[in-house]
Amino acid sequence: MKLPAKIRGWFNPSANPEKLWAHYIATNNKQSLALLVEQFNLPLYHYLVSQSDKELAQDVLQTSWLKVMKVTQSSKAHTNIKSWLFAIARNTLIDELRRRQRWQWQDVEQQLLTGESLEKEYEFSDRLVKFNRVVDQLPFFQREVFILQQEGFSLLEICQLTDESFETVKSRLRYARSNIKKLMGPEL
C-alpha cells in the first residue's frame, strides 16, 4: 500500500525537504534527490502545464531538475525548498517561452469588448472545463499568481518566487479574479 506523501513524512522524519536537500548536498546521495523528486515532481508539473502545454511542461520540468542536480552547495535561498524549486521551474519556463518567442501578452479587455462570450465560443457543459479555459486565457502574470496561490503559496512567498513587490502580486491576483469572474459570467 502506497501512503500519501504527508503521511509518509510522519513515518520518515528525514522526508523533510530541507533535510533531504541538505543530505543530498552533503553526501551527493541520489536517494535523497529521488525523494525530493517524488515529493515535488507532480506539483511542479501541474504548475508548468497550467502555464504552458503538456510537451513544454515536460521539457521544462526535466530541465529544472537538471538545474537542481547541478547545484553543489546550499545557500540561504534553499531555506524553503518548495519555493526554491518553483522559482527554478518558473524561471526556466520563462526562459524557454522567450527562446521560443511564445511570450504571450494577451489583453482580456479586448476579448471582453469583442462581444463574443465564452459560452458561444466554447459550448462546454462542464463548468470545470470552462473554468480551465478561462484561466488559460488570462495574461501570463495574472495566471501565474493565481495558480501559485492555488498551489498553496502565500502572497509573500509568491512575491519571493516572482521577484515582484507585494502590491504588484496583490494587484495581479485581483485582476485575475476579476477577469475570471467576468469571463465566467453568471455561472460563477
pLDDT at 184 over 70: yes
Contact 32, 71 (CB under 8 A): no
pLDDT at 6 over 70: no
- CA dist 21 and 27 (Å) reads 10
pLDDT at 18 over 90: no
Q: What is the pLDDT of residue 75?
A: 66
- CA dist 165 and 155 (Å) reads 10
Q: What is the pLDDT of residue 126?
A: 66
| Percent of the chain residues past pLDDT 70, beyond the cut | 76
Note every long-range contact of 26-35, with CB atoms under 8 Å and residues 24 or more positions apart, other chains counting: 33/68, 33/69
Domain ranges of the chain: 8-103, 105-188
- May I ask the CATH class of domain 8-103? mainly alpha
- CA dist 90 and 80 (Å) reads 15
Q: Does 105-188 match 8-103 at the fold level?
A: no
| Residue with the larger pLDDT of the pair 11 and 65 | 65
Contact 103, 140 (CB under 8 A): yes
What is the residue-averaged pLDDT of the chain? 79
Domain 105-188, CATH: 1.10.10
